[in-house]
Structure 1
C-alpha cells in the first residue's frame, strides 16, 4: 500500500491537479494508493478505481488538534524549541515554524494509526514540507520500522528561505527519508550542494503530462493569442506581464489576445489594473480558477502562439509541460528549473529582471516562428515530459525500494 499525503488533492479545482496523470500511470503497476489530504472541500475530482481517499486529517476533532498544537510548544521531536538549533531559523520565521510543526504533528498521529495495521507500506509526501518531518519523527521513535518513506520536491518547498518560507529542521526531515525525488535537475543540485551529507538519497524524477489526442491548431487570423497559467500571487508577477504586453502591442503594432488561467489573492487587483489602463490592441481575459480539463480544451480548440511566465521562482511548471505537449512554445524568465524545459526546441528564456526591449524581441521571434517551434516542442515533450515514461520509471523505483527494505 502507498499512502500519499497531499495538501488538498483530490479536492479543490486546481490544487495538485498534475497528480491525476501520475495516478493513471500508477494503475499499471497494480499498486494500491490511498490519498491522505490535509484539507478537503465540496468539490472532489474523479480518481481511478484503485485509489482510495482517507480523510482523518480533514476530519480531526478540535481537541485532537489542540493537543497537537500544544505538543509544538513542549519538548519532543517536533518541538518549536528544536528549531532554535537550526541555522536557518530566525524569529521572523516563528509563524512558519509553528504552522508546519503543527501539520507534522497531525500527520505523525495519523502515521501511528496506519502503521499499527500494516506490516510494510510506502509513505509518500507530495511536498518536501511537513510530511517528511512527521516521517522523520516516526523513524526516530521506531528505528526498526520496515516502512519506506519518500517525498517529492518541487519549487518553493526546495528553495524555501530564498522565497521567504521556512520549513523547520530540514536536515532532520531529510535524515528520515529513504529517498527524495526532485522534479528538476536544478532543484536536485541545489539540495545536494546544500545538504551534501544526504546527496546519495536525492535524485531527479521529472513530472509529466498525458499525451493529448490533438495539438493546438495552426493560426490563420491576424490576432496573436498568448496564455499564462498560474496563481495570481506576487511571485508570479502577472502585473508585470500585463505591463509588458501593453508596451509590446504599443511598440510593435501587433494585436494580442491574452488569456490568463488561475485565481488567487491578487485577482481583484489585476481586474482593477486592467480597467484602469488598457489599449485596443490588447484584449485581456482573466478566466480565474478553472478546472484543468477546461484549460486543456482551450489549448486543443484554439490557436495559441505562446505560453508566457515571468515568475521569480519555479520548479518546472506543469503548465509548461502541458503547453509543449500541445505544441505551444514557451517564453519564460530564467529561474529555478525553467531552463530544463525552455530550450532552443521549445522557446526562449528572459533574464529574471528583463528589459522591455528583450521582452519585445523574444516574443516577436516566437510569434514569427510559431509553427516551426510547434513541431520541435512536441518532440521535446515526448523525450522529456511524457507522463507514461516518467511515472513508470518512478513507480519502478518505489517497487525496488519496497523489495529492498523487505529483504533486510
Structure 2
C-alpha cells in the first residue's frame, strides 16, 4: 500500500500526515482512526509513519494511502551517519546543550541532544525530496516533535503550509527525561499553526513562547458515541476501572497503593479493580496487590485490549468510576471514552484533566495524591445516593457531547485544514 503515482490526483487537496506507527493498530490507532476516517471525506491523505508499520494494519478507507518511504529510509546506516554529521554541524545543537547549563556537558545530555538533532535532520532530508515531487498541498504532524520539526522545515523550504497537534510529552518539560524538551522553541516556530489538544497545553505553550501565541489554537480530540448506555453496579460491589500504559508517568503503582489502602481502611467494603494496559511498571503494581491477603481475587489485569473491546467493556460492563492518576497528561482519550459511557471520573489535576473532570462529572485529585487520599475519594464515591450517581452519569455524557464528540471536533478540524493555506499568520523562520 503506497501513495499513488505523483501525476495522478483528484481535485481534492492532498495532505501528508506524519505519525509514529499509525496505521498499525497499536499506539496512536485508537486516537487517529476516527480522525482519519473524517479527513478522508474532504482530503486525499498520505500517511507517513516514522516507524515501520509491519503488521495488523488498519484497512485504509478510500482516499487514504500509506507511504512507508520515511520509515524505511531512517534506519539505513548511511542515512544515520549523514544525519549525525548534520546534527553535529547544526548550530542549534550547541545552543540546546548550553541551555542545560553545566548539565549540557554531561555525556547523557549531550548524546541525547545530538540524537534528537539527527532525527530532525533525517526528517528534513527525506521530506525535502518527497515533497518536491509529491504535489502535496499541506503537511500535518500528529505530534509536535523532532520528526515533525524536520518535516515542517522541509515544507517551509518549499513554501508548503504546515500544522501540528501538540499533546503532552512534546508540550510539558516534566514529561521529558532530561527535564527540558530540546529544540522545542524551534519546533513550535517551524509550524504555521499548532493545535494543542487541551487548554492547559495551549496556555503553557503560549506563555512559554509568546511570539507564537497567535498561531496556537486549541483543538480537542474526540471519540465516537458509546456503543451502549453504560451500566452501574447493582450487586453491592463497587467496580473501579482504569486504562493506560503501565509506564512511570501513569503511576499505576500509586493507584494500586490506593486500592490497598481502601481495603485496609474498609475491610468489609466490597469492590473490584480492573486495569486495562501493560508496560514495565505493571509487575510492580501486581506485586503490591499480591502483598495483601486475598487482594488478587479483587483485582483484574487483562493486559492490552483492542480499542473496540475497551469501548465495549465501558458500555456493557458495570463500572462505577474511572480513575486516572497520571503525573502529567495532555487530555486523555480514555477519560473521553469513559464520559461517553456515563462513567463518573476521578483524575489528578494535571494537564487538561480539569477540562473534562468538571463539576457533577467526577472529582479532581491533587497533582500528587497520597494513597490515603485516593482511597478516601473512592470510598466517598461508593456512598453516593443513586440519584446523585445518575446525575453524575448524565453530566459526564453531556460533557462528552458538548466538548469531545468526534463528529463535532473533527468537522471543525477539517475546516481548519481546508483554510490553512489562506489564513495562517506569518511565523518567524
Q: Does 1:370 align with 2:384?
A: no
Aligned partner of 1:260 among 252, 272, 275: 275
CA distance in 2, matches of 1:102, 1:215: 49
In structure 1, the residue matched to 2:335 is 320
Q: CA deviation at 1:161?
A: 4.5
Q: Does 1:103 align with 2:122?
A: no
In structure 2, the residue matched to 1:32 is 44
Q: CA deviation at 1:227?
A: 0.9
* Gaps in structure 2 of 5+ consecutive residues: 1-13, 425-429
Greater displacement, 265-274 / 285-294? 265-274
* Gaps in structure 1 of 5+ consecutive residues: none
CA distance in 2, matches of 1:12, 1:210: 17
After superposition, where does 1:249-288 map in structure 2 within 5 Å?
A: 249-252=263-266, 253-280=268-295, 283-288=298-303
Q: Relative to 1, partners in 2 of residues 1:95 and 1:227: Cα closer, same or farther, differing over 3 Å?
A: farther
- 2:22 aligned counterpart, secondary structure: coil
CA distance in 2, matches of 1:241, 1:280: 14
Is contact 1:2–1:122 with CA below 8 Å preserved after alignment? yes
Aligned partner of 1:58 among 37, 47, 71: 71
Greater displacement, 81-90 / 315-324? 81-90
In structure 1, the residue matched to 2:5 is none
After superposition, where does 1:121-160 map in structure 2 within 5 Å?
A: 121-138=137-154, 142=157, 145-160=158-173
CA distance in 1, matches of 2:302, 2:222: 24
- 2:364 aligned counterpart, secondary structure: strand
After superposition, where does 1:6-45 map in structure 2 within 5 Å?
A: 6-28=19-41, 30-39=42-51, 40-45=53-58
Q: CA deviation at 1:384?
A: 0.7
TM-score where L is the length of structure 1: 0.91
In structure 2, the residue matched to 1:185 is 199
Q: Relative to 1, partners in 2 of residues 1:94 and 1:85: Cα closer, same or farther, differing over 3 Å?
A: closer
Q: CA-to-partner distance for each residue in 1:70-129, whole Å, 9 max, x for gaps? A: 33444247x633534546883443343233222222321221122212444211111111
- 1:219 aligned counterpart, secondary structure: coil
Q: CA RMSD in A?
A: 2.3
Q: CA-to-partner distance for each residue in 1:41-72, whole Å, 9 max, x for gaps? A: 32222332222111112222523433344334
Q: Report how many residues are paired.
A: 400
Q: CA-to-partner distance for each residue in 1:118-160, whole Å, 9 max, x for gaps? A: 44421111111113320453256x2xx3311111111121013
Is contact 1:249–1:281 with CA below 8 Å preserved after alignment? no
Q: CA-to-partner distance for each residue in 1:341-385, whole Å, 9 max, x for gaps? A: 111131001112224453233223333243221111001110010
TM-score where L is the length of structure 2: 0.86
CA distance in 1, matches of 2:174, 2:327: 14
